Amino acid sequence: MARSVLVTGGNRGIGLAIARELAAAGDAVAVTYRSGEPPEGLFGVRCDVTSTAEVEAAFDKVEAEQGPVEVLVSNAGITKDTLLAMMKEETFTDVIDANLTGAYRVSKRAIRPMMKLKRGRIILVSSVVGLSGQAGQSNYAASKAGLVGFARSLAREYGSRNITVNVVAPGFVATDMTAGLDQEAIVKNIPLGRQAAPAEVARVVRFLAGDDASYITGAVIPVDGGLGMGH
Ligand code: NDP
């Protein structure tokens, strides 16, 4: 039977690539979208991950459509870059709310049904920046580093229930999020000498969601062309 998968922020960028990859592998895939239209051929539920009520309603709809979520990919995320000296408190807390507390909200909603199923996969999309830091991104880096401690705590709490919790840490991926950045300057520091395509992140998520990753939990898998050198 097809597994029930939910990908947050699955209407574009890395999230959409993950959703398409898992759908192609035979899973029943739902995506959350916050704005615009849901992508063709995928079950879309409107949801802003900063709202507990919207997260709750989205899971209710996904469960009714395709059963309890067995694979959760927490991918939705934002940047609001500025140096600390200029950073307003809400610029910090908005990014934490979407990227870190958002992951908490969806994981919290997913965990009890996974416990009942006695199996589950939670995959959180972090960033190389969470481990290396980045000038102008202290809010974003803090949110992404926070995901690592969060994931590893869940891995310890729910390992005995056959639920794995892992993190992928992409480097520099060609999406709307990076479209405005100085490509040349960044690529210079990447051993593989290029940006990633979203599908290259998606394939690692497919691996972590699949049977071949049955003994991996609490891991941080870099998908960064060597940018972070395994950190
Ligand atoms: P995009 O900006 O292309 O897409 C972001 C996605 O997140 C969109 O679907 C967006 O929805 C959704 N989203 C943002 N905020 C919320 C929210 N509050 N509630 C619900 N959905 C929300 O980014 P990417 O695809 O590049 O990034 C995906 C993830 O990968 C992010 O977590 C990002 O931090 C991470 N990442 C990206 C890297 C890169 O180089 N691109 C590198 C490392 C990590 P909507 O369309 O409605 O705005």
104, 140, 158, 215: the active-site residue? 140
pLDDT in tens, the chain (231 residues): 799 999 999 999 999 999 999 999 999 999 999 988 999 999 999 999 999 999 999 999 999 999 999 999 999 999 999 999 999 999 999 999 999 999 999 999 999 999 999 999 999 999 999 999 999 999 999 999 999 999 999 999 999 999 999 999 999 999 999 998 888 888 999 999 999 999 999 999 999 999 999 999 999 999 999 999 987
Assigned fold of 4-223: Rossmann fold (3.40.50)
Instruction: Tell me, in angstroms, the distance from the centre of ligand 1 to residue 5's CA.
Output: 18
130's tokens: 């969470």
Locus of tokens 């202290």? 138
pTM of the entire structure? Answer: 0.98
The span from the CA of 128 to the CA of 54, in Å, is: 29
Q: CB within 6 Å of ligand 1 — which residues?
A: 8-9, 11-15, 32-35, 47-50, 75-78, 98, 102, 125, 127, 170, 172-173, 175-178
Alpha-carbon gap, residue 120 to 67, rounded angstroms: 13
ipTM here:
0.99
E strand or H helix that includes residue 226: none
Which atom of ligand 1 lies closest to the CA of 13?
A: 25
How far, in Å, from the CA of 158 to the mean position of ligand 1? 27
- Among 77, 75, 72, which Cα is nearest to 94's? 77
Using alpha carbons, select from 134, 209, 146 the residue that is nearest to residue 178: 134
What's the chain's Rg over C-alpha atoms?
A: 17
For the question of residue 104 being annotated catalytic, the response is no
Token readout for 180 is: 């405005």
Mutational pocket test of ligand 1: of 99, 177, 190, 192, the residue with most ligand atoms within 8 Å of the beta carbon: 177
Tokens of 183: 């490509």
Domain extent listing, the chain: 4-223
For the chain, what is the largest distance between any 2 Cα atoms, rounded to a whole number of angstroms? 53
Task: DSSP letter for 227, please.
Answer: T
Cα(8) to ligand 1 centroid in Å equals 9
Hey, which bits of the chain come out as E strands? 4-7, 28-33, 43-46, 71-74, 120-125, 163-170, 220-223
CA 99 – ligand 1 centroid, Å = 9
Q: How far apart are CA 30 and CA 33, in angstroms?
A: 10
Beta strands in 70-138 (DSSP E): 71-74, 120-125
